[in-house]
Each structure stands twice: as structure tokens, then as C-alpha cells.
Chains A and B, each alone.
Chain A
Amino acid sequence: MMDCRRKAQISRAILVLSTVVTGSMALVIFLFLFRFSLPLFSSGSLGKFLSKNWDPDAGAFGVYPMIAGSACIASLAMVLAAPLGVALAVFMELYAGSRFSRFLRYFVELMSGIPTVVYGFSALFILVPLVRNTFRYGSGFCVLSASLVLALLVIPTVSLITMDRIREVPRDFVLAAGSLGASRLETLLRVQLPYAWRGVISAVVLGGGRALGDTIIALMLAGNAVSVPSSLLDSARTLTAHIALVSAADYESLSFKAIFLCGLVLFLFSMFSIVFLRVVERLKE
């Protein structure tokens, strides 16, 4: 029989071991991306990989168009999703308790559970032709189509987080505002929302991360052209879609090496956004 202390030691060791493995996973992924992008840095040809041309047949491996594509699509999605998401949160709070508000809350939660590929599939057959026929320019596979659907993907993130943070505002503040004669809407907009500004920023940044990190919607809807889009109706390719499209290439080729750079850019962005959030959350009033 093992004595108790021995048992405790072993179980503790197992806990530590699994924590070391899971806790270092992010670091492992970073190191591996860095390790495989390293040849691009050290050969002094990083500029070549950040150039505007991607044409493997001609020896051009610039991923700049994909960085621009990701930036355009994700930021347009956020321009749509941030106000809509916050507005939904405010609406749900304003009419809290009403049937419609409760329905909306369920609906937004449901939205967060819809698989991205299902969004993409549906939009492919209904939104893309709509965009094409409405604007009479291009194929409908474009920045706009992808951003619209990505916005739907992100709205639940933004509005659920915002709502939670609005609710965390101390009751006294809300009551004080009410006793000063502020209406419910005024309290929400002038007291609760400003008080919870850090929460709103968190919600938007986390949502932005989701928009930037999603692969399948842009892959299905954005058209995947390798040029910097000059209009919302232009076809574009995101970093994530680029990785998906090129990943089958020769593992020794420069094409394949370039996608690690794409991965690294995505990773660094998500890491900085997390650090940024931590800093924001710590800021004093």
C-alpha cells in the first residue's frame, strides 16, 4: 500500500506535468512557426516575402496581398459587427425581461453555435449572387460578401461580452442615475456603457481576433485573388485562406515556407491583441 503522502506527491506530479504540457503549448506553436520562418529572415530576403507579388511560377512569394486582404476583410467585418453587436447588447438590456429581448438573447446564443461552414455554404448560394446582381460589378466573390458573413460570426462575441460587462456595472451607479431622473436608455448610454468601456474594447478586440482567424468563410466567399483589393467588390485572399490553399505544396518549396510567415503574422497578431487586452483591463479609470 502506498502511503498518503506518496499518493499526494504522485497526483501533484501528474497535475504539474499536464499543466506544463498544456501551458507551454502556445509557446511551442510560436517556436515552431518561428523556427520554420527563420530561413526567410536570415537569408536577408524577408523583403521578398513581404512584396506585393505572389506568383510561384515566376519565383515571387510576396504575402503582402494576403496581409492586406486579411486586414480589409476583418476590419470591414468589425466596422459592421462592433456597432451592431453593442447595439444588440444595449437593446437586450434596455428591454430586459420582455419576451422579444429574451428571444433575442437565445437567438444570439444560437448564432454563436452555428458552424462557420454552414454560414459559408448558405451565403455562397444566396449572398454571392445577390451581391453580384445588386452591384453589377465582379463575381460576387469579394471582400464585401466575406465581411458581411464574418460580421454575423462575430456579432454574438461582441454583444454577449458587452452585455455581461454592462451588467457588472455597480447597482448603485444605475440607481443613482435613475434617481437623478435619467431614463433607462440614458442610464445605459451615459452611465453603464461608458463605465464598461474596457469591456466593450475587449469584446471588439476578441471579435476582431475571431474575424481575422477564421478561414472557411473567406475561403468560400472572398474569391481568393492574389491582389490587394482596391474596392469592396474586389476579390481578395486572406492569410488564413492562403495557408489553406498552399498547404498541399511541396514541403521544401518556398511557397510552403512562405505560409509559415503567414502563420507567424497571425500568431503575433493574436498574441498582441491578448497582451493589449490585459493592458486595457488594468488601466485605471
Chain B
Amino acid sequence: MKKTVMINLCLLLTLLFSVYGFAGGLDLFEGLSGTLRIAGGTAHIKCEMLAGKRIMRRFPGITIIIGGGGSGVGIKQLCEGLIDIGNTGRAPTAAEIERCNLNVYKFAVDGIAVIVNPQRKIQNISTAQLVNVFSGKTTNWKELGGPDATINVYTRDSESGTRKVFWKKGLKRAPITRRANFVKSNAAMKTAVAGDPLGIGYISLGVADSSVKPLAIDGIYPSIENVKTGKYKIARGLYMNTRGKPGGLARAFIDYMLSPEGQELVKGCGFLPVK
């Protein structure tokens, strides 16, 4: 008799524990329905899509729409009330926070890597070389120890948080050449450089994969460990922003991304979790 009670107690405890354990996870969305609109920074997209698919598979009443555009677009559309969460790959400025009454949630830390096509033999680039390449002073791979061929610079538009951070921390605010090709997102940057043997660009560490080759800058390789220890300097937080206090789906989504399950996802995407 006593034994059964013990077993029952144990069962109850595990049940309680598991409920507690889940409470930070998908159960956050229990009882919610409707559409959640997210847009802005493009480094976020892959990770948020993964989370979104998990949520939508379990809760058919919820639709999560994730768009890009760049960090600037995220903030602006948020201010206009066109979306519920605005992604940014940089911290929102004080002016932006005040103008739109932003609530800011940092959910991951990300590095920005300079990438080339895997066909290039180059492993390392100095900051001075980097500045020269991106400002259009160095135009031939020969000057970087490569073949005699033009360097094709790929860049992002002014809405991009990745561009802003890279420009500030990677290029030390040197101008980017006007002859650079433009791509619309981090994913598009990867596709472009992976397809162009003579290309060079910059990208979110979480988005880069084996189709492109990250370069060490001044001898320091852009890995998530080096970002963690602070050795690799071109890093930034990834933020989700809401106008005023988030409610309903937006609240649940942010809580989910910051929950242990969400942070595990963040890690799996190649970012540094914040918790």
C-alpha cells in the first residue's frame, strides 16, 4: 500500500515537473490564436521561422508571418503599426525608442563575418585591407594574394543593421564603394557570394554555412566562441522590438524565444544565447 502511494507521489511529482518544465515552452501559446506579424532584420528570419513552424504545427489557430526588409524597415513598420514585432540586428537608437515607445528584447548575440567564395585561398585579411577592398581602392584579387581578377563587392542597403554594425566596427566608418552590388538580406548575401568565385561580402554568423568561407580578421577567426570571449569584435545583439508593452501572441513569442527551449533553438541557429 505504502509503495503505491510512493509511486503515485513520484508520478505526480514528475507530472508537475514536466508541466513546469514545459511552461516556458510551447505551452505559452495555449489558448491563443490569430496572426502575428514580424518583419525587419534578416539575420533573425531562419531562427524565427523554425520557432514559428513549431508553434504553428502545434496550434493550427496561430499564423506567424515573418518578413525581411532590414532593421530600419522593422522599426519603421512597427511605428506605423503594420507589424507586431520589429526585428533589428542592431540596438535601436534612443531616438527610435522614444519616437515609437519601443520595448526592446535582446534574445541572441551574433557575429558578422567577412565572407568569400570557398574557391579563394585567402584565409586572413587585415583591417586596412578590408577597408581598401570595401571602399573600392583595392579592386583586384592579386593585391590580396589571389588571381588576377576583379574583386566583386557585395553590400546591403542602408536599412540593414548588419551593414550599420559592419560599417562601424569592421570598416571603422570608411565609405563603401558605390560600385558594389546590392543584396536584400543576409540569406541573399550568402547566395550571392556562394555563386560568385570573385565575390566578397559580410554576413550574420548564424546565416553563413559551408557554401561560403569566413575570413579571419587580423588573425582572429569569426567563430561564435571568439564572439563569446570578446576576441572577435564585429558582434552585435539581435533584438525583437514591440511598440509599447507586448500583449497576446507577441508576448508569448518573445517569452518563448527567451525560454530555455527558445534559447536552445537560438544556439542551434549558430548564435550565442543570452541566457
Residues of A within 8 A of B (CB): 55-57, 128-129, 132, 136-141, 223-227, 234-235, 237, 245-246, 248-251, 253, 255
Docked pose: A223 CA to B181 CA in angstroms: 5
Nearest residue, chain B, Cβ from A141:
B181
A250 touches B199 (CB 8 A): no
Nearest residue, chain B, Cβ from A250:
B76
A248 touches B159 (CB 8 A): yes
Q: How many chain B residues touch the partner (CB < 8 A)?
A: 25
User: Which 8 pairs of residues, A with B, have the shortest CB-CB distance?
Assistant: A139-B152, A250-B76, A224-B182, A227-B178, A223-B181, A248-B69, A56-B158, A248-B73
Residues of B within 8 A of A (CB): 69-70, 72-73, 76-77, 79-80, 149-150, 152, 154, 157-159, 178-182, 184, 195-196, 198-199
- Which B residues are CB-close (under 8 A) to A55? 158, 178
- Identify whether the interface residues of A are mostly helix, strand, loop, or mixed: loop
Nearest residue, chain A, Cβ from B184:
A245
Docked pose: A223 CA to B195 CA in angstroms: 13
A129 touches B152 (CB 8 A): no
A249-B150 contact given A129-B195, A140-B196, A225-B180, CB 8 Å threshold:
no
B196 touches A139 (CB 8 A): yes
Our pick among B73, B79, B179 for the contact of A249 (Cβ within 8 Å) is: B73
Our pick among B80, B149, B158, B182 for the contact of A223 (Cβ within 8 Å) is: B182
Our pick among A56, A139, A237 for the contact of B198 (Cβ within 8 Å) is: A139
Docked pose: A140 CA to B69 CA in angstroms: 25
A249 touches B72 (CB 8 A): yes
Docked pose: A224 CA to B155 CA in angstroms: 10
A225 touches B179 (CB 8 A): yes
- Which A residues are CB-close (under 8 A) to B69? 248
User: How close is B165's CB to chain A, nearest CB, in angstroms?
Assistant: 13
Docked pose: A227 CA to B182 CA in angstroms: 11
User: How close is A249's CB to chain B, nearest CB, in angstroms?
Assistant: 6
Nearest residue, chain B, Cβ from A124:
B195
A245-B157 contact given A136-B149, A139-B196, A140-B196, CB 8 Å threshold:
yes
Residue among A129, A138, A248 with max Cβ neighbours from chain B (10 Å): A248
